[in-house]
Amino acid sequence: MTIQIDENYPDTGYIKLTSKIIDYQISNSRSLLGKGVNTHGNILKFPKILEAEDCNINAVAFSPFGEFDFRIFINKSDPPKWFLDCNIENLCVDGNIILFSTDCFAMIDGEINMYGPDATILGEKFDEVFR
């Protein structure tokens, strides 16, 4: 695990985790942009509906102090390149080592949450190397 803090912007940083994907879930959502408005002649304009599809990934990372769980959130309307190039289900089954890195992350209730991270998928199996 690597965490770097930018000297010029101490509230920002960069995180890199050596990990494997455990499972994932695809979620769909709809939200309204604006509200219905009456226009001339009693014509009602309806708000636009924004549809979104996200992938929520549960993963486990290695550290010298022990493994820990973390989450990855990916917006499927603007996914990172690695997400398009690989089969997420195969990554869950294979258990390959994946190096996730991002500057967009948060610590929520003691758990790291990464948003749209970059990834490097290695050929080695996580359980064979770290256990």
Domains of the chain: 2-28+54-130 (2.40.50)
Distance CA 20, CA 89 (A): 12
CB 31 within 8 A of CB 49: yes
Distance CA 24, CA 50 (A): 23
Whole-angstrom distance between the N-terminal and C-terminal Cα of the chain? 16
pLDDT in tens, 83-124: 999 999 999 999 999 999 998 888 888 899 999 999 999 999
| pLDDT range class, residue 9, cuts 50, 70, 90 | low
pLDDT at 57: 95
Residue that is written with structure tokens 């770290």 in the block: 130
pLDDT in tens, 23-70: 999 988 776 666 656 566 666 666 677 677 899 999 999 988 889 999
pLDDT at 64: 86
Mean pLDDT calculated for residue range 4-11: 57
Distance CA 33, CA 118 (A): 30
Please report the DSSP string for 12-32 in residue order: -EEEEEEEEEEEEEEEEEEEE
pLDDT at 125: 93
The DSSP bridge partners found for residue 98 are 19, 121
List the one residue out of 54, 38, 36, 55 whose CA is nearest residue 46.
Answer: 36
Other Cβ atoms closer than 10 A to 19? 27
pLDDT at 25: 93
| pLDDT range class, residue 131, cuts 50, 70, 90 | confident
pTM, whole model, 2 decimals?
0.75
